[in-house]
Amino acid sequence: MFKPLLSLTGGLIATAAISIAQAKPLAQEDLSVAEVLRDRALASSNAYSIVESLTVEVGPRRAGTEGDERAVAWAQEKMKSLGFDRVYTEQIEVPRWTRGHAHAQVISPYPQPLVVSSLGYSVATPEGGLTAEIVEFPDVESLLEASPKQVKGKIAFINKRMAKARTGEGYGPAVQGRSKGMRAAAEKGAAALLLRSVGTDSDRFAHTGMMSIDNIENPVPALALSAPDANLLEAMLSRGKPVEVKLDIDNQRHSDGPSFNVIGEITGRETPEEVMIIGAHLDSWDEGTGALDDGAGVAIVMETARLIAELPVRPRRTLRVVLFGAEEIGLVGAKQYLDAHRHELDNIIAISESDFGAGKIWRFDTRLPENKFDIADQMMQLLAPLGIERGNNQSYGGPDSSVFVAEGVPAFGLYQDGTDYFDYHHTPNDTLDKVKPENLRQNVAAWVVMSFLATEMEGNFGRVPVKAEK
């Protein structure tokens, strides 16, 4: 029997008597510490307190807004109070935009209001609004193929439904309409874009989100329509009469301004320059309080670091928590972070990010060189009892992490159950009541196992060969 080699009440981790040759890369005593950390996570409600604090004391925090500023201050205070060794910010530049009102109503043949939300950075309608006939497309591809004559002067309506799945795999195909739809509509001379919300609910909430806005000569107003309102419009159109809709939107674009990545570290005791990055994004959309996206992720990685900071000694290398700014509007913080840290890329031993809500983790994906798979197998010994199965080696580590993975940085992906995630994603309904404390505990338990072992283990993961994309 192997006795745990640390005193969790204060003593140092004993390092004597560990000359036993290790057949496996992770030392047994490190696995023992990870197991203790895992069980402490399962008994703690701290992560829930953190997301509660963020949603109550800050709330909506879209990049470049006053809420974003308060979130940056909140994150620094919180990290200091949780015992991080070093807390600092790095400035980024973000495009800024003000959301005004967005009204839509059917004028004929069956006048009634519609529930809509401006897509991110949508332009306004002319003063007094605009009225035009609807032309429907099943997806953005068919809008792209349409002749300008079909679309000119009309409101293009993309009516694509998103499939619900635990993996969230319906999102990729559905989100194309949001990212490319406005550009396609504008280039064909449409008056505006109406998009069936990219979501899986049947609530009367529209799902906002970012779209491609750069280098479009004459951008047009772009709105998401709640799913029930998209159904309504579809039913009206099926009656064969022209359907006219009036849109009245008041948004404003401003010059770029500052935001920040907020960083907190637990400094490594032996090779502090080597870092394991665990991330989440601090910004949110502006209509909900960003509890799921990504308050939960912020809480999970902060609490993971706090548990590791509570150990009697620091881990071998540095655990760096990066709360990325401006993820929602195009991974802005992650891209600028990468540019600023290129010189130390080789010191980032691995990266992972929590940004898929607050569901239970059910799968452990990796992106490791093949000769390092046994490390993941050893981690699995401690993850399996949490109900987690081994997944694939194609992890991107999360949206912000993908920027680093593209440079060959190894990654871990603790995949959450996303069945309900797109019911609330980017809506006013993304609020704290959707976060279940017991699920957060399970998340932190898994994160602390992975994060501790990666920061404490001897040796590193090397680099993952980057394949040419597409």
For residue 278, list its beta bridge partners.
321, 352
Query: Whole-number minimum distance, CB 113 to Zn ion, in Å?
Result: 30
* Binding residues with Zn ion: total (CB under 5 A): 3
Rank residues 191 and 411 by Cβ distance to Zn ion and give the closer one.
Answer: 411
Residue closer to Zn ion by CB (options 356, 412) is 356
Q: According to the binding rule CB under 5 A, does residue 294 interact with Zn ion? A: yes
Rounded least distance, CB 457 to Zn ion, Å: 29
Residue nearer to Zn ion on the CB measure, 229 or 294: 294
Q: Is the dihedral of CA 9, 12, 17, 19 positive or negative?
A: positive
Asked whether position 287 contacts Zn ion by CB under 5 A, the answer is no
Query: How far does CA 322 lie from the centroid of its chain?
Result: 13
400 binds Zn ion (CB under 5 A): no
Q: Provide, rounded to whole angstroms, the least separation between the CB of residue 426 and Zn ion.
A: 9
Q: What does the DSSP assignment read for 19-88?
A: -SPPSSSS-HHHHHHHHHHHHHHHT--HHHHHHHHHHHHT----TTSHHHHHHHHHHHHHHHHTT-SEEE
Residues pairing with 261 in the sheet: 90
Closest contact distance (angstroms) between CB of 192 and Zn ion is: 27
The torsion angles phi and psi of 262, rounded to 5 degrees, stand at -110, 130
29, 136, 283, 293: which one contacts Zn ion (CB under 5 A)? Answer: 293
CA distances from 455 to 229, 444, 458 (A): 49, 16, 9
Closest CA to 418 of 362, 359, 354, 365: 359
Instruction: Identify each DSSP E strand in 337-410 by its residue range.
Output: 348-353, 361-367, 389-390
Whether residue 315 is preceded by a cis peptide bond, meaning omega within 30 degrees of 0, is no
Residue placing its CB nearer to Zn ion in the complex, 159 or 443: 443
Least separation, in Å, of the C-beta of 447 and Zn ion? 16
The residue type found at 422 is F
Catalytic residues: 327
CB of 283 to Zn ion, least distance (A): 9
Which is closer to Zn ion, CB of 29 or CB of 355? 355
DSSP assignment of 104-119, as one string?
EEEEESS-EEE-EEEP
Residue linked to tokens 């998009």: 195
What part of residues 345-364 is at the interface with Zn ion (CB under 5 A)? Answer: 355
Cis-peptide, bond into residue 374, ω within 30° of zero:
no
Tell me the C-alpha distance between 83 and 325, whole Å.
22
Name the site residues for Zn ion (rule: CB under 5 A): 293-294, 355
